[in-house]
Structure 1
Amino acid sequence: MTGTAEIAQQFVKLLIEEDDAGLQEYWSDDIVSLEPMEGEMARVEGRDALLAKHAWWNDNAEMHSVSTDGPYVFGDQFAVRFTMDVTMFGERTKSSEVGIYTLKDGKIVEERFLYGADE
């Protein structure tokens, strides 16, 4: 499976199934993850750092619900919209964000998250 659309569809399927091990198969070893926030999770580089970011999220976020919409594909990129109901640090919020994933040689080399303007 090498086409962006096929990879994007499989990746979203794994997101919905919450198959973290399956998702990791699509990560490049030097993947970069970017969040529009301050702090150590704003930019992480490499597989180990992204695993640590996922562990941080799992330790700090209580997910009440999440839905995905997409993927939306263009060239070597695809986007997924997430709508979440989550409690973090004692505060429950509903939010939406878009993840933009960039592929190189069939692997995700960058994931970039955009938050809703009212977040």
Structure 2
Amino acid sequence: MTTEQIAKRLAEYCAKGEFEAAQKELYADDVVSVEPYETPAFPKEEKGLDNIIEKGRKFESMIEEAHGITVGEPVVTGNVFSFVMSMDLTMKERGRAKWEELCVYTVKDGKIVSEHFFM
């Protein structure tokens, strides 16, 4: 797949909240994930597909209810793409919150090799 095809496919998955399916299909085994900042729940950086899938499962276990996810149109340049993702979630023990982040991805050899989130 081209970077543009991967970008569109990932945006479709994210809009449906199907993050693990996207990771299994589109991510490289040695992918790196970088969060905007370290939290007690998550490290600033995570390496490896299995670890990133586990991080996603942990995040999903913290959600009481998902009210909506929107994903902007991907912007692609070379082997990098980005989109804005907004999530309206009720978190267990924390209440409802709306989050918006810029998601930036790098592709190599037809797979996502890094994801970097900015809030």
* Number of positions where the alignment pairs a residue of Structure 1 with one of Structure 2: 114
Identify the match of residue 55 of structure 1 among 45, 48, 57.
57
Tell me the secondary structure at the aligned position of residue 28 of structure 2. Answer: strand
What pairs up with 1:88-107 in 2 under 5 angstroms?
88=91, 89-107=93-111
1:8-48: CA deviation from partner (whole Å, max 9, x where unpaired): 11221222233332442111000000101224432110011
TM-score by length of 1: 0.86
Identical pairs, percent = 34
Give a deviation string over 1:87-113, Cα, whole Å, max 9, x none. Answer: 234232112101101001010000000
Q: Which runs of 5+ in 2 are unaligned?
A: none
CA distance in structure 1 between the partners assigned to 2:43 and 2:54 by the alignment: 9
Whether contact under 8 Å (1:103, 1:109) holds in the other structure is yes
Structure 2 counterpart SS, 1:41: coil
| Equivalent residue number for residue 86 of structure 1 | 89
What is the rounded CA distance, in whole Å, between the counterparts of 1:91 and 1:22 in structure 2? 27
Letter in 2 for 1:72: V
Deviation at 1:58, TM superposition (A): 0.6
- Unpaired runs of at least 5, structure 1: none
RMSD: 1.5
> Structure 1 residue 76: deviation in Å?
0.5
Q: 1:91 is matched by which residue type in structure 2?
A: G
Q: State yes or no: 1:6 paired with 2:5.
A: yes
TM-score for the superposition, normalised by structure 2: 0.86
